[in-house]
């Protein structure tokens, strides 16, 4: 289904990134302003990009709206290589719905289950997705933090075991692996979160499948660059874009308060344009860190 829209799979983008030692950014969108903010940054820097819609986003906007926003993005910027990806799909039926409507890749997040159950759930999605050439991301280990419908306490979180990763990939047939190496969803408690680069190297030595870093908002530039150099091929950013969006709306509202004596600006385009532009700025910075600029 997705091929007629001109989308690439995340696997295609990741394999090229792996070979050339950079990472492709996956940025979340739920609406027009976010997808415009993302695609403008990618087009300006000639970077491939992964348009990520979470399970929660499909509930918010409706999957069909998200697909058509992505189709419009591709039509408007035909030179930009892009994938439309389901982020944190929680069950087979959500993955199937996205595949049937035109997503080029899906993530099935069964990381809360024991290994065998995780494998089983991923395999079910892989068998369906691969019939249509759609690529599948799985997750092993559990990231601390909150993202949409995923909520993991510190006690429940767990780092990815390299040997288990090898078994997981072989048995499930997934195309890329999201790993837990100290990264976490949402806001970090510290400015310099601990990233276990040794573990990343060990995982990289055990598997040839592209590796994905979730929860990368708030990880400083040098750590991101180092992770990409060692072998991360896809980096997910959501929180930093959301924060920039929120900050700009706050600024706008505060500088345009309701006042009985003055006309009020109530045009959503005026309110949301600075927020959209702030997303573009955040993403341009991330693309530079990931090294994906001029890779089209
Ligand atoms: Zn995530």
Q: pLDDT for 47-80, tens place per residue?
A: 999 999 999 999 999 999 999 999 999 999 999 9
Q: What is the mean pLDDT of the chain?
A: 96
**Helix or strand or coil: residue 66?**
helix
Task: Please give the distance, rounded to the nearest whole angstrom, from the Cα atom of residue 74 to the centre of ligand 1.
Answer: 24
Task: Please give the distance, rounded to the nearest whole angstrom, from the Cα atom of residue 211 to the centre of ligand 1.
Answer: 13
Average pLDDT over residues 84-103: 98
State the alpha helices, DSSP H only, in 173-267: 197-206, 221-230, 239-255
Longest dimension (CA), the chain: 68
Task: Please give the distance, rounded to the nearest whole angstrom, from the Cα atom of residue 51 to the centre of ligand 1.
Answer: 13
Q: How confident is the model at residue 152 (pLDDT cuts 50, 70, 90)?
A: confident
For 16-38, what is each residue's pLDDT tens digit? 999 999 999 999 999 999 999 99
Which of the pair, 135 or 265, is modelled with greater confidence? 135
Strand partners, 87: 54
For 104-120, what is each residue's pLDDT tens digit? 999 999 999 999 999 99
Among 164-173, 220-229, 251-260, 274-283, the minimum mean pLDDT is found in 251-260
Query: Which residue has 């892009």 as its token pair?
Result: 82
Is the per-residue pLDDT at 262 higher than 90?
no
Task: Please give the distance, rounded to the nearest whole angstrom, from the Cα atom of residue 263 to the centre of ligand 1.
Answer: 43
Average pLDDT over residues 265-294: 97
Phi, psi of 42 (to 5 degrees): -65, -45
Is the per-residue pLDDT at 147 higher than 90?
no
Among 156-165, 205-214, 268-277, the minimum mean pLDDT is found in 156-165
Q: How confident is the model at residue 230 (pLDDT cuts 50, 70, 90)?
A: very high
For 178-220, what is each residue's pLDDT tens digit? 999 999 999 888 888 999 999 999 999 999 999 999 999 999 9
Q: Which residues are catalytic?
A: 87
Task: Please give the distance, rounded to the nearest whole angstrom, from the Cα atom of residue 88 to the centre of ligand 1.
Answer: 6
Is the per-residue pLDDT at 146 higher than 90?
no
Q: How confident is the model at residue 153 (pLDDT cuts 50, 70, 90)?
A: confident
- The answer to whether 85 touches 45, Cβ cutoff 8 Å, is no
pTM over 0.95: yes
pLDDT score, position 229: 96
Give the CB-side neighbour count of residue 46, counting CA atoms within 13 A: 3
Query: Which residue has 């048995």 as its token pair?
Result: 171
pLDDT score, position 209: 97
**CATH superfamily of domain region 2-255+262-290:** Aldolase class I (3.20.20.70)
For 236-258, what is each residue's pLDDT tens digit? 999 999 999 999 999 999 999 88
Length of the chain: 296
């Amino acid at each position: 289904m997705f091929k007629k829209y001109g989308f690439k799979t995340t696997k295609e983008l990741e394999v090229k990134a792996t070979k050339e030692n950079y990472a492709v950014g996956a940025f979340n969108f739920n609406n027009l302003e976010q997808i415009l903010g993302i695609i403008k940054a990618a087009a300006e820097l000639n970077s491939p990009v992964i348009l990520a819609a979470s399970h929660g986003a499909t509930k918010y906007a409706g999957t069909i709206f998200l697909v058509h926003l992505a189709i419009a993005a591709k039509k408007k910027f035909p030179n930009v290589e892009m994938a439309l990806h389901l982020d944190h799909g929680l069950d087979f039926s959500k993955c199937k719905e996205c595949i049937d409507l035109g997503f080029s890749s899906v993530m099935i997040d069964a990381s809360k289950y024991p290994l065998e159950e995780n494998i089983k759930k991923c395999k079910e999605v892989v068998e369906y997705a691969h019939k249509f050439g759609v690529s599948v991301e799985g997750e092993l280990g559990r990231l601390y933090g909150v993202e949409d419908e995923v909520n993991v306490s510190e006690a429940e979180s767990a780092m990815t075991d390299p040997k288990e990763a090898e078994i997981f990939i072989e048995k499930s047939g997934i195309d890329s692996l999201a790993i837990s190496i100290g990264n976490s969803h949402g806001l970090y408690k510290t400015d310099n979160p601990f990233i276990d680069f040794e573990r990343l190297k060990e995982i990289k030595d055990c598997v040839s499948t592209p590796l994905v870093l979730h929860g990368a908002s708030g990880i400083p530039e040098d750590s991101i660059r180092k992770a990409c150099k060692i072998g991360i091929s896809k980096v997910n950013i959501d929180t930093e874009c959301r924060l920039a969006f929120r900050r700009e709306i706050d600024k706008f509202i505060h500088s345009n308060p309701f006042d009985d004596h003055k006309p009020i600006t109530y045009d959503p385009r005026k309110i949301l344009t600075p927020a959209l532009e702030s997303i573009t700025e955040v993403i341009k910075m991330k693309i530079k860190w990931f090294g994906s600029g001029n890779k089209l």
